[in-house]
Structures are given as C-alpha cells and as structure tokens.
Amino acid sequence: MTTAEIPDSIHFGGRWQRGRGTPLECADPASGEVIAKLTAASADDVDEAARLGAEAAARESWRDLLPHERARLLHRVGDLVERDLEELALLQTRNTGKTLGETRALVASAAGTFRFYSAALETTETSLTPQRGDYLTMSVREPIGVVGAITPWNSPIASDAQKIAPALAAGNAVLLKPAEATPLVSLALARLVVEAGIPPALLSVLPGAGSVVGDAVVRHPLVRRVSFTGGTDTGRAIGRAAADKIMPITSELGGKSPTIVFPDADQDQALAGVLFGIFSSSGQSCIAGSRIFVHESIYAEFADRLVAATRALRVGPGTAPDTQVGPLATFAHRDRVASLVDRARAEGGRVLCGGRRPEDPGLEHGAYYLPTLIDGLPNDSTTCQEEIFGPVGVVLPFGDEDDLVARANDTVYGLACGIWTSDYRRAWRVARRVEAGTVWVNTYKRFSIATPFSGTKDSGLGTDKGRDGILQYTRQKSIYWGLDENERLWRI
Ligand code: NAD
C-alpha cells in the first residue's frame, strides 16, 4: 500500500484493524466529493491502544534502547516523511482544502520536527545536583509511559509531529486523536513510523468524535499526560477532566491576534505581510492576524490598498498552482464563518470586501468563502473579540501608542502579534508590552521548531517546540546515592 492510499482500517494496538466506533466520512472541501469512509475508534479501542502501548513502552527492547539508537529511528521517520512529501501533501490538500504550497511546507516541517527531536534526544542530560552531604544527588528523566496527543484539523501532519516526535523521543507510547474531519494524513504518518522500525504499538491513531474518543484518551487511567491543540472551550473541558486525575496537560488554544502597521513601516512589505497573516490557510490559523490596527495617519490609504489587494487574491482549489486562498476545511465551518460575518453586519460593521461565497460557477460545489475585510467596529465588539478562524479580518484605526497597546491587549487571548515599523526602538517597546506568546517584527507566521511556542491568557498553558519540548514528556526522578561506608542513619 502506498503512503497516500486510504486505508480501510485504522492503526491502533500495534496493527491495522477495524475500529468499533461510529464510522466517519472525509470529504474534499474543494468539491464536496466523499474521498474516504473510515472506521473510527471506540472507547474500547482506546483502552486496547493504551494497554498495548504501555506494554510496548515498558518492554526492554524499547525501554533500554540507548538514546542514540532511538534517535536513529526518529531520524529515519523524518527521512521517510520527506521521501513521500508529494503524496502526503496531496492527501492533506484533498482532505483539508489547503493549497499544495502550504501542505508541502507542513510535510517538510513534520520531517524537520522528527529530525530535530532525534538530535534533541541525544543531547538530553541527566544532572548531578550540588552535593549537600556525603551522598551524590542526581536528577534523571524517565518516560511517562502513555501520553495522549489531541490535534485540530487546520494543520494535521505538522501538529501531529510536534507532539509525536518529542513524546516518542522521550520513550513513551502515544495515542494520537486527530480531528474528525481530517484523520487521513495522520494515518499515513503511522505507516511511516512503523516502516522506520518503531514498535507498532507505540503509536496508535484513533479517529473519531472528540466527545467520545478524545474524552476516552484524556480519562484513560494509563494516560498520564495529554498535549492538546484546539479551541479554548475544549481546552478548558480537557483541563477539568485532567484535574480529576492530577494529570498535567499542555494546551495550545485559540487566538485573536493584533497585527499593527505604523506609519514608518515599509508599506508594501506591511501590506503583503498583513494579507498573508490573515488570509493564508484561508484564515484557519490560531495565529491569524485577525485584528489589523493601522495608524490613523495612513489609515485611509492603507485600507484602500488592503481592500484592492484582498479582492485580487486568487481563490480556488488547493491543487491549482496559482491558488492563494483555498476552501474552508468543511462546509459546516464555512457556514459558521458566514454567520459570524452576518453578525458583524448586525453589530454595525461595514463589509469592505468579500462577505459572501464566490460567484464563480467552478467553485459552487466547494466550501469557499471570499476573503473578507470589515471596519467600523470598536475593539470591544463581539466580532473583534471572538475567534472566527476563517478569512475575515477587522481593520481598526489607532493614534496613540499607549492606547494601541491597551486595545491590542484588551482580549482574553494572548497568542501572537505582528508589528510593522522601521523604528527598532518602537518595535522593541511594543513587542515587550504586548501580551502574546509570539511576536513577529516585520514578518509574520515564520516558524522554527527550535523556537518555543506558547500562548498566554486563554490562548494556552505550557510550551511546545524548542529543545526542551521533549522534557514535558518525561518524569523527573531524584536519586540519592550514599558514599559513606560507615554511615548508620539510626542506632540499631
Ligand atoms: P476543537 O477544540 O473543536 O477540536 C480539537 C481536537 O479536540 C479535535 O481532535 C477534537 O475531536 C478534540 N476534542 C473535542 N472535544 C473533546 C473532548 N471533550 N475531549 C477530548 N478531545 C476533544 O478545535 P478545532 O475546531 O479542531 O480547531 C480549531 C481551534 O484550534 C481554533 O480555536 C484554533 O485557534 C485552535 N488551534 C490552536 C493552535 C495553537 O497552537 N494555539 C493551533 C491550531 C489550532
């Protein structure tokens, strides 16, 4: 079976088998065509995956594998992902609607993530802590056992890799629960992990409903850590369930990120960056720059140019080479985005462009929505406060820098921020004052697996990526080692 061939079974408990959950259908959002009918996992399947995963993680052949030997296997996964880059990218484009340019970049990033964590694994150290007596004190890191990884539908293979690679590197078994609508590339990744020589029961991929399969993963007694990426409400629910088990979680949640254009910015560069920041991935990005603050002295001209450039974006299927904005990932999500734009109108917002489905007859069967800009709304309107997760940006004028920072921070989220200016002092000042896990200055949506990623406030808890990303999948153990041969702790 080739990498991109759609399986009639799912991978859990160390083999490909039919899931016992409610079957799923996956559609191509560019055409509405059903491209896969899959069996899904049930709570019993989660139990089987957890038990066999725990056994496989505890087996000597895996547990005692030296770091450089485990690293070699992870590196091989990276090579195999790269070998099948085109097939994986096409599969993901068909399942998510993303452009091929984006899905190729996501697959390449997944390959890089496996290689990065294979290197990080080799450099993870045990520490000898300062001596406080006639005994050595050590702090060692051990695998947790079984960990849960729950991912959303917007960037499947990259977000899967960011959890699976460090968790396997640390020596764990992983139960991956992909989003209902987009499990195909996650199943394809499982095939490559097994081909690389990693014991099959160490990675189970469990498609199905979040409230059934995701919930079963979070609550399973053998699962002792969960890394979640998705919406803030889901993150809260998972956090509550985790609290009952005294289990730590990492959660990467939603955003409503400000992107700020100062009058001294290179206007062409800022224009292209703002457009990319909100409309790439059709706006289905946690870090989308969805609140566009433009200084009042350039507001009218910048907004006009932004509207003209937005109208000129090429909307079409992700497989067409010149497409910039593909369909939304599902029809239900497209309808949700449309209803949120209607709500913006009702709130008094002025739709500057878009605000509807495209009229091109070639696109009528797909989940398309035109790139949309809205102005005339205050920052405390619902439209400026709630995540839309679609191709919808709100443009807001600002004057004073203090007022700008206050409004940029006036949101429950704190994920990302973009600053466009040629004044490095101002860039530094604003970057330090904005409440966000990531700030981009004169660029946007650039990523490195070597750089930690996290959200503040309602955008998340804990940190992914970076060299230390591996540590969250380990348990710390302290070992005290007596050196005094004559020591008697108590008179006997
Ligand atoms: P979602 O929260 O609906 O679902 C995410 C995953 O959680 C899915 O696999 C889903 O099946 C599962 N799930 C749902 N309910 C669950 C439950 N009760 N228990 C366990 N698992 C459950 O999110 P979505 O609609 O798939 O994705 C969009 C959201 O993800 C947006 O809010 C976006 O901002 C966020 N996101 C955040 C980041 C980040 O790194 N901060 C990255 C991408 C997406």
Residue-range domains of the chain with CATH: 10-253+459-478 (3.40.605.10), 258-441 (3.40.309.10)
Could you tell me the pLDDT band of residue 50, with boundaries at 50, 70 and 90?
A: very high
C-alpha span between 173 and 307 (Å, rounded)? 49
Is the entire prediction scored with pTM above 0.95? Answer: yes
Residue 101 to residue 314: CA distance in whole angstroms: 14
Confidence at 364, pLDDT banded by 50, 70, 90:
very high
Average pLDDT over residues 53-61: 97
Pocket flag, ligand 1, residue 110 (CB < 6 Å)? no
Ligand 1 centroid to Cα of residue 230, in Å, is 2
Contact 153, 182 (CB under 8 A): yes
Q: Give per-residue pLDDT as tens, 190-215.
A: 999 999 999 999 999 999 999 999 99
Mean pLDDT of 260-276: 98
Ligand 1 probe mutation, 96, 150, 240, 336, most atoms within 8 A of CB: 150
Q: 110 pLDDT exceeds 90?
A: yes
pLDDT in tens, 116-134: 999 999 999 999 999 999 9
pLDDT of 457 over the 90 cut: yes
- Which residue has its alpha carbon closest to ligand 1 atom 18? 211
pLDDT of res. 410: 98
Cα(17)–Cα(34) distance, integer angstroms: 22
Catalytic residues: 177, 252, 286, 387
Mean pLDDT for 238-249 is: 98
In this structure, what token pair is assigned to residue 247? 């289990």
Confidence of residue 330 (pLDDT cuts 50, 70, 90): very high
Q: Is the CB of 283 under 6 A from ligand 1?
A: no
Which protein residue has the closest C-alpha to ligand 1 atom 40?
252
Q: Give distance in angstroms: CA of 213 to centre of ligand 1.
A: 13
pLDDT reading at 92 higher than 70: yes
**Percentage of the chain with pLDDT > 70?**
100
**Band of pLDDT at residue 418, cut at 50, 70 and 90:** very high
pLDDT value for 128? 96
Strands 350-353 and 372-375: antiparallel
Identity of the residue numbered 224: R
pLDDT band at 1 (very low <50, low <70, confident <90, very high): low
Q: Which residue has the higher pLDDT, 335 or 3?
A: 335
Structure confidence at residue 7 (pLDDT) = 82
